[in-house]
Amino acid sequence: MSLQLEIDEKRYTPNGEPILSQVQFQTAAGEFIALVGPSGAGKSTLLNIVAGLDTQFSGRLTVDNQPLHQGRDTALRIGFMFQEARLMPWLTVLDNVLLVLAHTPDRVARAEAMLQAVGLGDALHAFPSQLSGGMQRRVALARAFVVQPQLLLMDEPFISLDAPTVQQLHSLLLDLWSQQKPTVLFVTHTLLEALSLADRVLFFSRAPARIIHQQHVELTRPRSTAQVSAVAEQLLMAHPEMLAGEVSV
């Protein structure tokens, strides 16, 4: 499945400043794309548009040349992961994942298998408050992947976690992605995170956000910190004006 995105313009109020202007890109099937840019650039706005949560923009979103959203119907299975795990505190881990499998016949078996796959086989009946931040993100990953998404939208999903936990979640995400191969749009303001995960990194300017550069990352996975840092350094040397103060390394 290939997503084509053409946003001519997005404003929140008719006379307000444009937030997105002439943003266009197309994904390959199963491509992992990172969207990098300064805070406030409009990255979350773009994800909300792709998710169909925001329809107030001018432009087109198509999947293999068909409209992605038609009214309230969406042509694809879409998975989401946000900055917070967004779990229902009164539901167990298993019930949080079951929530997204409303009409699936073997839903309990599927949810349990996915929770096993993210390392939470022993925590099926725990409540979110009993879990660490890293474990809560594992539940959110299980909930995103259990629907076998064709498109996965991730908005800084591993923010405010310690570095070793982030490393573990990166490797879990890449395992799940390589098994299911959804197309991924992953928002981050951290260049190293983008370069360690993505096939291609799109760099956004400050608002009104435009794509100012794109970088294919040819390194095979898993990528070492040294490899990723070397690519980051090359980029910073090649485009100092683009990246200075705009993204964190």
Smallest gap from residue 243 Cβ to ligand ADP (A): 15
Q: In this structure, is the dihedral angle defined by the CA atoms of residues 111, 133, 157 and 17, taken in order, positive or negative?
A: positive
- For residue 95, the minimal CB distance to ligand ADP (Å) is 30
Tokens encoding 44: 């979350």
Window of 35-43, 85-93, 130-138, 176-184 that interacts with ligand ADP by CB under 6 A: 35-43
Among 44, 165, 167, 168, contact with ligand ADP (rule: CB under 6 A): 44
Which CB contacts under 8 angstroms, 24+ apart, belong to 46-52?
A: 46/5, 46/7, 46/10, 46/20, 46/209, 47/153, 47/155, 47/185, 47/187, 49/7, 49/10, 49/20, 50/3, 50/5, 50/151, 50/153, 50/185, 51/78, 51/80, 51/153, 52/78
Comparing CB distances to ligand ADP, the nearer of 112 and 155 is 155
138 sits near ligand ADP (criterion: CB under 6 A): no
CB of 48 to ligand ADP, least distance (A): 8
CB 193 within 8 A of CB 229: no
Pick the piece of the chain touching ligand ADP (CB under 6 A) from 38-46, 62-70, 103-111, 137-145: 38-46
| DSSP reduced 3-state for 211 | strand
Query: Applying CB under 6 A, which part among 32-40, 58-66, 89-97, 146-154 lies near ligand ADP?
Result: 32-40
> Which window, 21-29, 39-47, 104-112, 120-128, contacts ligand ADP (CB under 6 A)?
39-47
Gap between the Cα atoms of 183 and 174, Å rounded = 12
Q: 35: Cβ–Cβ under 8 A, 6 or more apart, which residues?
A: 43, 46, 47, 185, 186, 187, 188, 201, 202, 204
Closest separation in Å from C-beta 100 to ligand ADP: 24
Q: Nearest approach, Cβ of 174 to ligand ADP (angstroms)?
A: 23
Our CB check for ligand ADP shows the closer of 41 and 94 to be 41
Q: Which of residues 156-215 bind ligand ADP (CB under 6 A)?
A: 207
Query: What is the contact surface with ligand ADP in residues (CB under 6 A)?
Result: 12, 19, 37, 39-45, 207
